[in-house]
Amino acid sequence: MSKSTDPVAPVETDLTGFDLINNPMLNKGTAFTDEERCAFGLHGLLPPHVGTLEEQVERRLKVLRAFETDFERYAFLRELQDSDETLFYALIASNLEETLPLVYTPTVGEGCQRFSEIWHKPRGVFISYPNMHRIREILSDARFDRVRIVVVSDGERILGLGDQGAGGMGISIGKLSLYTACAGIHPDEALPVLLDVGTNNQERLDDPLYVGWRHERIRGDEYDAFIEEFVAAVSKRWPDVLLHWEDFAGSNAARLLERYRDRLCTFNDDIQGTAAIAASSLLAAVNVTGVPLTAQRIAVLGAGSAGCGIASLLLQAMIDAGAGEAEARRCFFLVDRNGLLVEGMPDIMPAQKPFLQKPEAVAGWTREAPNAIGLLDVVSNAHPTVLIGVSGQAGAFTESVVRTMASHVERPVIFPLSNPTSRSEATPEQLMAWSEGRALIGTGSPFPPLHWNGRTRKVNQTNNSYVFPGIGLGVLAAGARRITDAMFMVAGKTVAAMSPTVTDKEGLLLPPVTDLRKVAVAVAKAVARQAQADGVAQPCDEATLDARVAARVWEPHYRPYRRRG
């Protein structure tokens, strides 16, 4: 196949007939011209109608909208992706607001739970623990020569749904679909990977349809050796790869990122991407509330890798805005399953240490229970201006918590970010009612529009899809060797600078989902320049860098075909 991304440059291939139309990256379905049908032996394999990509999109949309459930729509789109990728991405990119919730959150959660039901065609790479000795052989296939981005999951913490084993491949596929739909990363450059180290989900193990390795999860040194072999093989196969870690359990996510971030170009989206979009949303909220970042008091429910990642980036943003580090740390209240994190508590993780409250600072607090400081205690005593949820606990932002917060803060900023929708800490309707219409709300998954006081307005979707596609595009365009914390900070600030609240206090916190491609390009340019500033990419002038970004954006168009040779 020709490697040109020029939409009019011919594709050269020696595939013909059945082999050609069964290659999802080459298939054009009814859009093959009569000349191409003659040249490639397609007459009889296709109906006689010769159509266009636009007609195909309309036909597929009609079918998509006729299904009764979103899971059916998800399964339909997965089949479309496996049969005609150009058509799939043309449909997605031109209907982002409608299709994003189908290929990504929230529907991808059910897609992972029911992955074994709908798996029918190879996509990506399954690397099971018994095949540890074959990893390099598996990755050596010539089909993967163009790969530049790898999204990998071990399926242990899929959204807020827990261990889905081999079904975690659905999240890797979904993430990479957004790299292409939102940032134009060519599908041939994107490889989803599932590291199958078993599952502790008994429902999966008992399911006769389950396609994964039927074994309890590998832990400890065996797990680490498996991950090491995988990373070493990836680094050898693609020295310039971007490795994106996705939905690893908190016990592994932070330590794997720390272990490998200086060995290759890599990041963890649950930790760093979530932090960047939370920062974007809070910076946009500042435009509305008028309360400067340095004066915010931030409570985070869920002090795992995502919660600590959010707190760390927001802490740095406060320091950048002029706050002293010690002063800024005292403004964070991280609440885990054992309550508010306080010095002297057992089993404190390294990432949590910067955010431990001093015992004397909370000694005089009124409490619901004597042995722990819960979220309501924090809200009652610390009077946070911002409440962020990454707990995966549906309903954790109770009416008492929200009403208490709203009684002390004129415009409470509340972000229930847990995915999918079923795991959100509260619904927008609840937050609006309990705050008497004063809350600024951002959710991790899409919710229907809010109706309040005779007005209808969209709900801010504080979703990583605003950040990670542009980061990937910027890394590839700049040829970055590593990803720095500053690159995530500038990504978050770039999204915030595009917020409608910059010019309209009544506007949404984030740009509309329909602008995600525009957002990705802006983020890519900012990230690429930051990579140069941080010394992890070769310098070049701004015009050259912008041209490199533009050149990497693939548009889903059918190109003319000709026989190779």
- Percent of the chain clearing pLDDT 90 (strictly above): 94
Q: Is the dihedral of CA 29, 33, 39, 43 positive or negative?
A: positive
- 437-468, pLDDT tens digit by residue? 999 999 998 899 998 888 898 999 999 999 99
Cα(367)–Cα(376) distance, rounded to whole angstroms?
A: 8
Statement to judge: residues 329 and 442 lie in one domain: yes
Question: How many domains does the structure of the chain reveal?
Answer: 3
| Residue range 45-57: mean pLDDT, rounded | 97
Whether residue 355 is found in the same domain as residue 459: yes
270 is in an annotated binding site: yes
> What is the C-alpha separation between 84 and 24, in angstroms, rounded?
4
Specify whether 449 is located in the same domain as 537: no
Q: What CA–CA distance (Å, rounded) separates 332 from 335?
A: 10
Could you say which of 216, 248, 280 is where a domain stops? Answer: 248
Q: Which residues on neighbouring strands pair with residue 386, listed in sequence order?
A: 298, 413
Confidence (pTM) = 0.95
Scanning the structure block, which residue is given the tokens 């009569």?
Answer: 34
DSSP 8-state class, residue 414: E
Paired tokens of 365: 């607090």
Tell whether 39 is covered by a domain: no
Query: Which three-class secondary structure state does DSSP give residue 389?
Result: strand
**CATH classification of the domain holding 204:** 3.40.50.10380
* Domain end residue (candidates: 248, 280, 311): 248
* Predicted local distance difference test score (pLDDT) of residue 7: 61
Q: Is the pLDDT of residue 2 over 90?
A: no
Please tell me whether 463 is known to bind a ligand. yes
Question: Residue range 473-484: average pLDDT?
Answer: 98
Please give the average per-residue pLDDT across 327-351, as a whole number.
95
CATH code for position 436: 3.40.50.720
104 is catalytic: yes
Residues 155 and 203 in one domain: yes
Q: Is 384 left (phi over 0), alpha (psi -120 to 50) or beta?
A: beta
85 annotated as ligand-binding: no
User: How far is residue 466's CA from residue 348's CA, in Å, rounded to a whole number?
Assistant: 31
Domain containing 402 equals: 272-362+370-464
Block residue for tokens 């995530």: 488
The answer to whether residue 180 scores a pLDDT higher than 70 is yes
Checking if the pLDDT of 4 tops 70, the result is: no
Residue at 47 is within a domain: no
Asked whether residue 179 falls in the same domain as residue 83, the answer is yes
The whole-angstrom separation of Cα 69 and Cα 254 is 36
Q: Are both 113 and 143 inside the same structural domain?
A: yes
246 annotated as ligand-binding: yes
Could you tell me if 328 and 457 lie in one domain?
A: yes
Residue 4 domain flag: no
Read off the pLDDT of each residue in 101-106 and give the average, rounded to a whole number.
94
pLDDT digits (tens, 9 = 90+) for 268-323: 999 999 999 999 999 999 999 999 999 999 999 999 999 999 999 999 999 999 99
Structural domain includes residue 197 = yes
Report whether 519 contacts 549 (CB < 8 A). no
Of the candidates 434, 464, 494, which is a domain's last residue? Answer: 464
In terms of domains, do 460 and 483 share one? no
Tell me, yes or no, whether 306 lies in a domain.
yes
Query: Is the C-alpha dihedral spanning 388, 71, 77, 190 positive or negative?
Result: positive
Q: Are strands 455-457 and 450-452 parallel, antiparallel or unpaired?
A: antiparallel
Amino acid at 542: E
Catalytic residue among 28, 74, 89, 175: 175
- Please check whether residue 512 lies inside any domain of the structure: yes
Q: Is 157 annotated as a binding residue?
A: yes
Are 243 and 315 within one domain?
no
Q: How far apart are CA 465 and CA 447, in angstroms?
A: 15
256 in a domain, yes or no? Answer: no
Host H or E run for residue 562: strand 561-563
- Residue 454 has a pLDDT of 86
The reply to whether 164 falls in a domain is yes
Q: Is 561 among the catalytic positions?
A: no
Select which of 74, 89, 104, 179 is catalytic: 104
Query: Are residues 132 and 207 located together in one domain of the fold?
Result: yes
Condensed to tens digits (0 to 9), the pLDDT of residues 201-212 reads: 999 999 999 999
Query: What pLDDT, on the 0 to 100 scale, is given for residue 517?
Result: 96
Euclidean distance between CA atoms 313 and 309, whole angstroms: 6
| pLDDT at 369 (0 to 100) | 84
In this structure, the answer to whether residues 413 and 485 fall within a common structural domain is no
If asked whether residues 276 and 331 sit together in one domain, one would say yes
